[in-house]
Every structure is written in structure tokens, then in C-alpha cells.
Structure 1
Amino acid sequence: MKVPSSRALRRAIVAITFSAAIALTGCSGDQAAQSGASDGGGEQAPAASDGGGSPLAGGQGGEQQQPQMPEADVSDVPDVVATVNGEKISKDEFVSAYEGQFQQAAMQQQSTGQEVDQTKLKKQVADQLVDNHLLLQAAEDSGITATSKDVDATLEEIAKQNGLGSADEVVSALEQQGMSEEDVRKDAASQYTLTAYIEQEADVEQPSDEELKTQYDQLVEQQKAQGGGQQAQGGKQTEIPPFDEVKEQLAQQSVTQQQNEAATKIASELRESGDVSIAL
């Protein structure tokens, strides 16, 4: 499970790996495992490029073509997808979240040739949004609110995590996706609120240097077992950078995993005590 981003934050920033911060959303056990694999919660080689799968060869002269991306089917989505303690989750909110996750799922399955199970994915996204709302409601009830300074700091952290120079560059990148600065800051405020709430309610600890070195050594061994490196475009192999270069990234992954696990547990407890109905 991941800290929620609304709308383009969920779509655009996830696309630029807003992973550690982006969405502590509720998910089922199998989805949590998938989320951990894609969001840095699992043991992955830091900064490794997946290349988006193997392209299909075709055309004249060995040209490579990517298979056509399928389209998300939202024709059966009701106007009110769910109600959470009297708060409605609209079709528009659902579609924004669903289309982003559908794109990611479709890209991941390009290499296998399998189709995305849209019925299952819709249920997962609806559950995520319900848990987002439950967590935000609980955070607000606990008195956590984001100040302008908190929002600025959140956007600066997003910029740092994604190799951007400043919060303004994050805003600019999302404006190019059709999102207004007001909405970007609103979503960043929600992210801050949720992150602060999870940190308040859960015992999240920074990993020790020894723990990080152990994790790093495991990644190196996994790479050796896979043949010494991942195959990248052009036939070159990617290698795990030195420990000192990825130490901070590994630490963030560890914290994110703890946050995800805590958020999943808290959201489950809130759902049991809350009034939730889902129309999908």
C-alpha cells in the first residue's frame, strides 16, 4: 500500500517515481506484493532501468516497434463509485486513478502478451481510494493539517527524489500534464497529511548502516546469480552502483516499506469500524 496522490499526482508523479511518498493506499495482499515490487518496497537493484520490456522487432531493416497500448474501459463505472463515512468517491476521481494504474499495468504486461484484468484492477483501485479517504479522514480527525511551509517542503522532497531541481520544476512538470498549481499544492498537502499521520500512528524506524549494507550485499548476490547484470538497451549491462551511492535510496525504500505496511494495517482497522460501501 502506498501514501495517496490524487489525480495527476497519482498519474504523473508516479510516472516519475513519486514512489516513496506518493500513495499509502490500501491494497489486498497480492496487490501489496506487486506494489512493493514496483515502488521500491522490495529488494530491487537501486536505480536499475527496466527498459519497459523487450520491444517487438518488426518492419524493414530490423526496426523495433512497441505494441499498441490498450485503452482503459470505464464505461461501466457508476457516477458514485463508493461512499466512505458519508463522503462520496466520484466517477471522475476514480477514472483519474484508474487510468494511471491501468497504463502502468498494461506496460508491465507488454512483455508477456497478457491482457490486464480490468475487472480485478477496478476493484483494487476502488479499494485503494476507499482506504485513502479513510486515512485522510482519520488524519484530519487527529488534527493534522498541512501549512504552506509543509506543502513547499513536500514538493521539494518530491523534486529531490525525482532528480528535479526545485518544487517549481515539479509544479511545471505537472502543469504540462494539465494540472493546475492549485491542484498540485492541494495534492501535496494531502500527501503531507497522510505521511504525518502514518508516522504519528506507526513505529517507523530508520535502518542502521549494518542493515542497509546487508540489503545491499543481497542485491549484489542476486545480480551475480542472474548472470552479473541486467541487460539494457544496446546489449550493455547495468550494474548496481557502489554502496555509498545508493545508501540513501535503500534507506528510503526501507522507510517506505514500513509506512506501507503500517498504512495497510491502519486502513484495514478503519474500514472495519467505518461505514463503507462500494458500487463496483
Structure 2
Amino acid sequence: MKKLVMGFGICALAFGLAACGGEEEATQEDPVATDETEAVEPGEEEMGSFIDTSDIPEVIATVNGEDIDKEVYVATIEQEAMQLAMQGIDIDSEEGAVYLEQVKDQVLDRIINSTLIANAANEEGIEVTDEEIESGIADLMAQFGLESEEQLQELLEAQGVPMEELREDVAENVKSNKYIEQKVTEIEVTEEEIQAFYDEAVASAPEAEADFPELEEVREEIEFQLQMDALLANLREESEVTIHV
């Protein structure tokens, strides 16, 4: 569970790596254009064609005086909209609209939470070593099947992203995770809270109840989730958050 906490700067780069890698594969398989079909330059078709993001303001939220631009918000929504479409959900349908609104709310919450944690980590003066940064980059490369830094560099250059920017985002991500690891251990969770969380999860998916893991199998994950919820609630209570979307 702790490994799942990722800052949105590095998330955006990860999405870019995935999209760029997929684009290269598609380009290799593209048929030669004929008189009946127009040639499409690589990258000309954007994920944004799935949804209309024109009404999203340039600043989506302000956290403790820091404005959060819409770039990562829009890119993440577009990525998830594409995922919904690949699952056969019509984004223009009533069902698709409901899913999309849920995605927008979830993405906004995750961006704000990520910003709150990053700010708190910096205020705590948490430091990160070069070795931790290199390890984080290696994890990212493994996630996308990259075998060398040269391959990573090529993908970053294709997006116009300097390697130093990736290193900075990885460093912020490592700081955030170190902050979380320090703080969640200070938050106590009762057995009643764990049981209630588990029971609610089972009740929300009755059709899958037979395949649901036993409580003991997921106890640590539930405890960590409850600790994270409490940590984020405390950070929000202590912070000034204004949402513009």
C-alpha cells in the first residue's frame, strides 16, 4: 500500500511515458496513407478528443496560497477517460457521464492530497539522497519495461521533458513517501474501525462476497488506508484549500 502513494508530477510523467511508448508502437503499425485516408502525424490525435475540457479553468485549486494548474488534472482525466472507452463504456452516454464525473472528483482529490503531503514533507525538512532518487527512477523504468537510461532519455526528449525535471519529481515523491511512513505510525486505528471498514467493503460488493479475502489477509492494508484517511483529514483541517472547478 505504501508504494502506491505517488506524487502527481511523477504520475503525469508516467502517463506520458506510457502514451509515448504506445505511440511509437502504433506508428510502426500505421498503414501507408492513400488518397482515401489522410496521413496523421505522430501525436496529432490527442486523448483530449474523448472529452471536452474547455470549461476547466487554468487554476483548478489553490492550496495554502499555491495555485495548481489544470495541466496534470486534464491529462489525468483524459487518460482515465481513454481507459473507460477501452473498457467499452461510451463516454457520451448517461452511464459514461456519471463515471466521468466520479473520475473528475477523484482526480481532483488526489491532486490536492498529493500537494498537501508534498508541502508537509518539505515543511518537515525531509531530505532525499541521490541513491533514493536513482532507485525511484529505476522503479519507474521497470514499470514501463525500459532497459536502459538511454531509452528513458529518448522518451523524455520526445515529450520535451528534461531528465532533471524527472529527477526533481522523483525526489518529491520519495520525500512524500518518507513523510507518510513517519506519520502514519503515529496514528492509532482501533479494531472496531478496521472491522467496520471491512464490513462496508463486503456489503458494497455482495456479488463478489464469495471471493472476498478474509479480514486477516487485508488487515494491514485496511489499517494503512484508515491511517492515510486520518492523516489527510488532519492536513486538510490545518490547510486552506480553495477549489475552482
TM-score by length of 1: 0.53
Counterpart of 1:78 in structure 2 is 57
Q: Which amino acid aligns with 1:3?
A: M
Q: Within the alignment, does 1:274 sit opposite 2:236 as a pair?
A: no
CA gap 1:169/1:199 in 2 versus in 1, 3 angstroms = farther
CA gap 1:261/1:96 in 2 versus in 1, 3 angstroms = farther
Q: What SS is found at the alignment partner of 1:176?
A: helix
Deviation at 1:134, TM superposition (A): 0.4
Q: Any residues of structure 2 matched to 1:219-258 within 5 Å, and which?
A: none
Q: Distance in 2 between matches of 1:167 and 1:256?
A: 33
Counterpart of 2:230 in structure 1 is 265
CA gap 1:72/1:111 in 2 versus in 1, 3 angstroms = closer
CA gap 1:254/1:70 in 2 versus in 1, 3 angstroms = farther
Contact 1:158–1:167, Cα closer than 8 Å, also in 2: no
Q: Distance in 1 between matches of 2:84 and 2:219?
A: 24
- Unaligned regions of 5+ residues in structure 2, if any? 21-46, 186-209, 212-217
Contact 2:132–2:174, Cα closer than 8 Å, also in 1: yes
Counterpart of 2:113 in structure 1 is 131
Q: Which amino acid aligns with 2:175?
A: T
Contact 1:83–1:89, Cα closer than 8 Å, also in 2: yes
Counterpart of 1:19 in structure 2 is none
Contact 1:80–1:91, Cα closer than 8 Å, also in 2: yes
CA gap 1:120/1:160 in 2 versus in 1, 3 angstroms = closer
Deviation at 1:5, TM superposition (A): 3.3
Contact 2:18–2:144, Cα closer than 8 Å, also in 1: no
- Unaligned regions of 5+ residues in structure 1, if any? 17-67, 204-224, 227-252
Counterpart of 1:192 in structure 2 is 174
Q: Distance in 2 between matches of 1:255 and 1:155?
A: 27
Bigger-Rg structure (1/2): 2
Deviation at 1:119, TM superposition (A): 3.2
Q: Which amino acid aligns with 2:112?
A: V
Counterpart of 1:101 in structure 2 is 80
Deviation at 1:179, TM superposition (A): 2.8
CA gap 1:75/1:136 in 2 versus in 1, 3 angstroms = same
Q: Which of 8, 12, 29 is the equivalent residue of 2:16?
A: 12
Q: Distance in 1 between matches of 2:157 and 2:172?
A: 18
Deviation at 1:76, TM superposition (A): 1.2
Deviation at 1:173, TM superposition (A): 3.4
Percent identity of paired positions between Structure 1 and Structure 2 = 30
**Bigger helix share:** 2
Deviates more, 1:109-118 or 1:84-93: 109-118
CA gap 1:10/1:159 in 2 versus in 1, 3 angstroms = closer
Q: What SS is found at the alignment partner of 1:146?
A: coil
Q: Distance in 1 between matches of 2:229 and 2:86?
A: 26
Q: What SS is found at the alignment partner of 1:94?
A: helix
Q: Which amino acid aligns with 1:142?
A: E
Deviation at 1:195, TM superposition (A): 1.4
Counterpart of 2:141 in structure 1 is 159
Cα RMSD (Å): 3.8
Q: Distance in 1 between matches of 2:219 and 2:18?
A: 18
Q: Distance in 2 between matches of 1:279 and 1:107?
A: 30
TM-score by length of 2: 0.60
Q: What SS is found at the alignment partner of 1:179?
A: coil
Q: Within the alignment, does 1:150 sit opposite 2:115 as a pair?
A: no
**Could you list the per-position Cα deviations for residues 199-257 of structure 1 after superposition, in whole angstroms to 9, with x for gaps in the alignment?**
22224xxxxxxxxxxxxxxxxxxxxx99xxxxxxxxxxxxxxxxxxxxxxxxxx99888
